[in-house]
Each structure stands twice: as C-alpha cells, then as structure tokens.
Chain A
C-alpha cells in the first residue's frame, strides 16, 4: 500500500498545472525534433537543457524526460513514414513499418506503435515504482569502495554491451574521465589541465561538451549532403486496427514489453538492444515468418513496445544508484547535478516529490503522446520534409544562445566548437562518443570515491577485493569482459548489430 501512497504523491506533483504544462511541452517539442531529420535524442536534450535551468528541479526533469520519450516516438514516426530511423532504437521499425506504409497502411503502423509504446510505458512506470525503493535500500549499504566498484562495473557493462569496438569504447571512456579532470582539484586546490585558462577553473561545461559532440559534429557530417527527403507514401490509410491486426500485434506487445523491461536494466544498449531482440523473437515465433520484411504488424508492435519499455526502465539504475546506463541518462544526471541533486539512493528519501513526480509524469507523458500524436500526424508529416540546410543553422542558433544563457560566458560557446571538431575526428576514427559522455559525468565522482575508499583502507588497494559486495561487482565486470571477448559472442554481436561500422 506504500506503493499506492507513493504513486499518489507522484501524481499530485505531476498533475500540478505547471508540471503538466511542461510535460506537455516536453513531449510536443520532443516529438517535433524527433521527427525532424538529423537530431538524435542526446543532441535534442543537450540543445534544450539550458531552457530548463530556471525551472524547479521536478519540472525540469519532467520536461526533459518528456523530450526524451517524445523524441523516441518521433523517431519511430520517421521510421515508418520515410524509412529513416530517427535514432538507433527505431532501426528495426523501419523494416516492417515502412513496408506497411508502402502498402497504404501507415496509419495502422503508427497506431500500433503508439498503443504498443503506451502499454509498454505504463508497465515500465509500474515496474520502476515497484522496484526502485528496494534497489535504493540495497544502495544504502554501499560505501565509497562499493560505489567505485559499481561505477567501474557500470562503465564496463555500458562499453561491453554497446555496438562498437571494445578497445575504442574503452579508450573513449578514459578520454571522458580525463576531460572530467579539467579544472580545480577539489581536494588540493591544484589547477589541472587548465593551460592557464581561468575559464577552465570550474571544469568543462557539460552542456557545451554534449552539444559539441552530438549536435555540432552531426552538422559537420550532414551539412555536406543534399538530403532533401521526400515522402514516398501518398496515403496514410486509416488509423484503426483490424481484428487480425490486434490478434497479431497484442502478443508481440506483451513480449516486447517483457524483453524491454529486462534488457533496459542493462547498461549500454537499453532501448536499442531491446528492439533488436524483440524483432528477432517475433520473427522466430511468428506463424508467418515470411511476412516479416513485407509489412508484418508484429514486427512494428514488438520492437516499438520493447524500445519504449527499455528506454524507461533505464531510469532505474540512474535514479536509484546514480549510474547512467546510456548517453541520455548521463545528460539527465548532469541536469540533476545542476539543480544540486546528487543522483543516487538518497534522492528517494530527500526528494520524494521529485522522484515520484518524475515517475508519474512518465505515465502521463506516454498518455499525452497517444492523444497528441495521432491527430497531429499531418503536421509531423510536413516536418519530415524540412530541408537540412534550413534546419542546421536553426540548431546552431538554439545551441549557442542556450549555452550562453547558462552562465553568460562566450567561452563555453567556443568550447562547443572545439568539441564539435573533436567529435568529428572521433567520427572519422569510428570511436563512439557516448562512452566519453559517460566517463565525463562519472569521472569526478569516481575519483572522489577512489580517494575516500583508499583513505579508509589506509592506502591498501586490496580493500576492493576484500569487501564482498565490491569484490562481486568487480568479478562481474571481469566476467562480462571475458564473455564479450569470447569469439562466439563476438560473431553473435555482429549478427545483432548488422552495421556496426558507424
């Protein structure tokens, strides 16, 4: 019954006029930007983060998470309508969603994606509400030793499960940890890696880093291309699902939700891994596997439910343990820290309104998406064909002004340009940027915990293997690495992620 009381507290917070308004604004803007070509969810959130600085912490987080699942939803819309995934987790939606659209059933594909996502989101919300407090209780047993081991495990898992070269991903994590060092060392007052620039004393502004690596880099890559996208589909078709559609889609939604809820807990893939896994499962279980690739509704319903469940479940490790499992969660953590809230188990007790309000808002946001998206689809369709040469200057304008508004320093804008170029170099060297972001956010916290742990153990590093909890986590990290490095898994991973060249 405590759960009900907590949820009631959450809904009271989330249903306040202001929070409801910002939730609505978040999903609306998120969907619009998700539909627009060339901006993934990380770039979108980074771009809009500064706007939320002046808001109350709860309101800011509600709006940001609204942007997140809005952007995801927008990504599936473009996947169905123009065969272009707005982001990695809607890659598989392209396969059957676009085929449905070509057969004049775009409306049905969009409906099933919306309803499947809503169902998955509702289940995920309940799961978060039910399991987060328990996980937070466990986290209270953690000291600095355990925290350091946990963050190491989180980083290893995020790298091992992601779809890129293991060595390069690790190098990028370390790169992020190093960039996180820049500024005054909190313990000694020493300036580290500031190269005499007083502006670097407080460290790199993390919004500048995120905007540079994700928005500016994307612009450099895409601006050269003439990518005027045209809609191939003439008619959307009806939004109503036939009885046969429901019979095929419903079990897929259930399975997708289950898959997403489990895989979403893992750092790394989250939403993307869930959608790939769900598609594979549906194809294998289907009585008409030959339909897949030609517009099978289960091939849309399953992955769409899975990616939404996965995306939302990935809030659990961030909210309860303070471990970001993907780039978006790293930005959310950054946003919380800006409002002086250290993500971790203490949020649940020190800020219950924020915690439960955010969870309740996820359900409300998902409901809003269903209500909002189907009627507005004609507007989204128009947004899809906005030419990139109109779009990228707009993105730049938004980024620079937003960045300037944070502290009123032009220095941060120049840093964004630097990270844009750096991000482009990484792109050419095929080094994934998300691990860098994770390392950057966790770096300072890890160094602090490492220092404290070693002070408490009188400088004896064996404390990490002597304490059972931390030893278990380190063993898990090692085991994960071994598993990933085994040749059998490597080929399997290549199958799941067909094009890991990018």
Chain B
C-alpha cells in the first residue's frame, strides 16, 4: 500500500522536529546526565531532546492522517542562495579588506535576489549605502570598525 501524503507542510515539520529531537538527545547522553538531585550537563538537554522528538512525532502523525491537501510553497532557492552568499561574501570582504569594500559587495550581490537586476541602480545604491554606513557607524556612532585593510 502506498502512503499518500496530502499535508506536506505538517509532515515536513514533524519529520524535522523528530530528527532534531533525536539528534539532540543522542548528543545529550554523551554528557553526564546525573540525577534530579545532582543534574549533570546532559540532564536538561536530554529531556528537551526527547520532548522535541515526541512533539515532532505527533506533528508527523497528524500530518500523515490529514486528508486535506496542503502543499508547501515553491522553495525560494535563488533568494536563499543569494542572501546567504551575499552575507558570507561580506564576511570574507570585511575580513580581508575592511568595511568600505565589504558594503558594496553585500549590496551588489544581495540585489541578485530580486528580479530585474539593473547595474546602474545597483551601483548607485551600493555607493549611497556605503557613504551612509560610513557616516552613521563611523562618524556619528564612532564604532571603530576597520574601514580598510581588513581585520588583523
């Protein structure tokens, strides 16, 4: 018999929590558990992991039994990838070259997340945000973030 999944949303959520709960519990038993009187570092985590696994299982079962069709929305692959990449490239640029080159990197890359990329507007935005950030964070707030040259 093939099990038809109608409610994908709940099934995914349930499976996710079940998996995380089991992983947390498995890691917890590597720490000292102890007793209620003398709790080890693993006591509370083990309890939480098991609780999450139970909740996940309940959500999963409810999702499997649900006859109502609830499809998950299309995955925003492009947006997830672009935003993550933009932030990580910012980290890299900041580490290597300081804040002034890092901001344009973040702006120019992150703009790829929205449809209709226009170089000219992207460059204008990158420039104005760099100047604004410099004014706000360096001149006014004086946060002493290295502007150029990277982090030590």
Q: In the complex, are the beta carbons of A221 and B76 less than 8 A apart?
A: yes
Q: In the complex, are the beta carbons of A167 and B27 less than 8 A apart?
A: no
Q: Known: A167-B62, A188-B32, A224-B115. Is A401-B55 also a contact (CB below 8 A)?
A: no
A394 at the interface (CB under 8 A from B): yes
Q: Known: A168-B13, A216-B83, A459-B36. Is A410-B151 also a contact (CB below 8 A)?
A: yes
Q: In the complex, are the beta carbons of B73 and A428 less than 8 A apart?
A: yes
Q: In the complex, are the beta carbons of B137 and A401 less than 8 A apart?
A: yes
In the complex, A404 Cα to B147 Cα: how many Å?
13
Q: In the complex, are the beta carbons of B145 and A393 less than 8 A apart?
A: no
> Please, which residues of chain A bring their CB within 8 A of the CB of B67?
none
A113 at the interface (CB under 8 A from B): no
> Please, which residues of chain B bring their CB within 8 A of the CB of A430?
9, 13
Choose, from A67-75, A246-254, A307-315, A416-424, the stretch at the interface: A416-424
- Chain B residues touching A, majority SS: helix
> Please, which residues of chain B bring their CB within 8 A of the CB of A371?
none
Q: In the complex, are the beta carbons of A451 and B39 less than 8 A apart?
A: yes
Q: In the complex, are the beta carbons of B48 and A178 less than 8 A apart?
A: yes
Of A404, A429, A459, the residue contacting B12 (CB under 8 A) is A429
A383 at the interface (CB under 8 A from B): no
Q: In the complex, are the beta carbons of A192 and B90 less than 8 A apart?
A: no
> Considering the complex, which residues of chain B in the window 26-84 have a beta carbon less than 8 Å from any beta carbon of chain A?
27, 31-32, 35-41, 44-45, 48-49, 51-52, 55-56, 58-59, 62, 72-73, 75-76, 78-80, 82-84
Q: In the complex, are the beta carbons of B143 and A405 less than 8 A apart?
A: yes
In the complex, A252 Cα to B111 Cα: how many Å?
45
Q: Count residues of A near B (Cβ-Cβ below 8 Å).
A: 61
In the complex, A450 Cα to B45 Cα: how many Å?
13
> Considering the complex, which residues of chain B in the window 14-31 have a beta carbon less than 8 Å from any beta carbon of chain A?
16-17, 20-21, 24, 27, 31
Nearest chain A CB to B36 CB, angstrom units: 4
A171 at the interface (CB under 8 A from B): yes
Q: Known: A192-B41, A389-B111, A417-B88. Is A175-B35 also a contact (CB below 8 A)?
A: no
Residue with the highest number of chain B CB atoms closer than 10 Å, among A170, A401, A425, A430: A401
A135 at the interface (CB under 8 A from B): no
In the complex, A174 Cα to B25 Cα: how many Å?
13
> Considering the complex, which residues of chain A in the window 176-218 have a beta carbon less than 8 Å from any beta carbon of chain B?
177-178, 181, 185, 187-188, 190, 192-193, 216
Return the chain B residue nearest A195 by Cβ. B27
Nearest chain A CB to B145 CB, angstrom units: 6
Q: In the complex, are the beta carbons of B13 and A429 less than 8 A apart?
A: yes
Q: Known: A393-B107, A401-B133. Is A193-B27 also a contact (CB below 8 A)?
A: yes
> Please, which residues of chain A bring their CB within 8 A of the CB of B94?
404, 410, 413
- Chain A residues touching B, majority SS: helix
> Please, which residues of chain B bring their CB within 8 A of the CB of A413?
87, 90-91, 94
Q: In the complex, are the beta carbons of B114 and A171 less than 8 A apart?
A: no
Return the chain A residue nearest B109 by Cβ. A393
Of A54, A174, A392, the residue contacting B114 (CB under 8 A) is A392
Q: In the complex, are the beta carbons of B125 and A410 less than 8 A apart?
A: no
In the complex, A122 Cα to B56 Cα: how many Å?
44
A281 at the interface (CB under 8 A from B): no
> Please, which residues of chain B bring their CB within 8 A of the CB of A428?
9, 12, 72-73, 75
Return the chain A residue nearest B115 by Cβ. A226
Nearest chain B CB to A151 CB, angstrom units: 13
> Please, which residues of chain A bring their CB within 8 A of the CB of B139?
none
A348 at the interface (CB under 8 A from B): no
Q: Can you list 10 residue pairs at the A/B interface with Cβ under 8 Å?
A: A165-B59, A193-B45, A216-B83, A220-B79, A221-B79, A223-B79, A393-B129, A414-B87, A414-B88, A450-B44
A contact set with B: CB distance below 8 Å: 51, 54, 165, 167-168, 170-171, 174-175, 177-178, 181, 185, 187-188, 190, 192-193, 216, 219-221, 223-224, 226, 388-390, 392-394, 396-398, 400-401, 404-405, 408, 410, 413-414, 416-417, 420-421, 424-425, 428-431, 447, 450-451, 454-455, 458-461
Question: Which 3 pairs between the two chains have the least Cβ-Cβ distance?
Answer: A459-B37, A429-B13, A190-B41
With A193-B27, A410-B95, A417-B87 already in contact, 14 other A-B pairs whose C-beta atoms are closer than 8 Å:
A54-B141, A168-B13, A171-B52, A178-B45, A193-B24, A220-B113, A224-B76, A226-B115, A393-B107, A400-B106, A410-B91, A420-B83, A420-B87, A451-B44
